[in-house]
Structure 1
Amino acid sequence: MSTITPGRMTAAHQDPLVVFVIGMRINHFHKVSKWWPVINAMGPMIAELSRNPESGFLGTETMLRSLRTIALLQYWRDFDSLEAYARARDQKHWPAWTAFNKAIGNDGTVGIFHETYVVPAHGSETIYANMVPFGLGKVSGVVPATGSRNEARSRMRGISGED
């Protein structure tokens, strides 16, 4: 169980990064044999990436939108690292993608999606108030949102000194 960090904190991360949102939607609950393998494929991929710091994978959060939709909010060092993993024939993603296309294709039982955002250095802003480690703050660590870090505009510009 994670411990709550009291007070206002902000992520320590100020470098460029890639935010990758990936997920699935179960369109037909009764077709368990179609959607269950899709759900089960992501865990081994995350474990594989987490064991390899050179992969460029920084971390992830799992989010449940509804009983039908599951999304992962992932953080990557850069787009090249994300793309290299997606295309690597010797990693877990490629066989899972191939299996999805073979088993599901366009039959509509399971929907998948992803969105990719390239964020420049100092191009993100975060605040965590009385939170357990979460998101970019969990990935990079947090620092107090005090002084000039107390204002969203200053956090976005990467100003980290005290007023």
Structure 2
Amino acid sequence: MVFDGRWTARLPEEGGVVFLIGMRFNKWWRVDKWLPVVRAMPRMLMHLGKHPELGFLGGQSWFGRTTILVSYWRSADDLIDFASARSAPHLEAWKAYNRAVGADGTVGVWHETYVVRPGQAEAVYANMPAFGLGQAYAHEQITKDSNNSRKRLATAGPV
């Protein structure tokens, strides 16, 4: 559903986490190296979808030579706990990557983690479905009190 007009995201008081993760096909012909990496992410996402108590709030993926999953988490602790849990699929996938690929350069893996707090992140969605921060947290129509970046970032101090 597309929300007409301008919308923004409201983060919870305790903030949240934006986690970007992806891979890069450095040697695309080495299917034996990259296919297991590609197959690992859907298993992780299915696991997270079945266990909302783990703190994963959703995300969006894009595919190309370098892939990206932008995901949203309740907290950094939730993300770190998932990544290191023996009962979750990430730890074994990471070990398998290190055994199969390691530093041979065939497949790149990357991630970035951002802790976001109210007043330190802002978003605008014009004529869009609920997306990004607005889909993961609260999706609100922009009003006169939130109609520019300075107002949306007001609690962070001068912009």
Q: TM-score, normalised by structure 1?
A: 0.88
Q: Say which SS state the counterpart of residue 69 (structure 1) adopts.
A: coil
Q: Find the aligned partners of 2:35 and 2:130 in 1 and give their Cα distance.
A: 29
Count of paired positions? 154
- The Cα shift of 1:14 comes to 3.7
CA deviation profile, 1:81-126 (whole Å, cap 9, x unmatched): 1111111011100111111111111111100101111122332100
Aligned to 1:157: 154
Could you tell me which amino acid in structure 1 is paired with residue 57 of structure 2? L
Q: Find the aligned partners of 2:130 and 2:97 in 1 and give their Cα distance.
A: 33
Residues 14 and 124 of structure 1 are in contact (CA less than 8 Å); yes or no, is this contact kept in structure 2? no
Identity percentage of aligned residues: 45
Q: Say which SS state the counterpart of residue 119 (structure 2) adopts.
A: coil
Q: Say which SS state the counterpart of residue 81 (structure 1) adopts.
A: helix
1:32 equivalent in alignment to 2:26: no
- Of 101, 105, 108 in structure 2, the residue corresponding to residue 104 of structure 1 is 101
Contiguous gaps of at least 5 residues in structure 2: none
- The Cα shift of 1:31 comes to 0.7
Q: Find the aligned partners of 1:120 and 1:140 in 2 and give their Cα distance.
A: 12
Q: Find the aligned partners of 1:82 and 1:128 in 2 and give their Cα distance.
A: 26
Superposition RMSD in Å: 1.4
Q: TM-score, normalised by structure 2?
A: 0.90
- The 5-angstrom pairing of residues 135-150 of structure 1 reads 135-150=132-147
Aligned to 1:12: 10
- The 5-angstrom pairing of residues 59-98 of structure 1 reads 59-64=58-63, 67-98=64-95
- The Cα shift of 1:36 comes to 1.1
Contiguous gaps of at least 5 residues in structure 1: 159-163
Q: Say which SS state the counterpart of residue 36 (structure 1) adopts.
A: helix
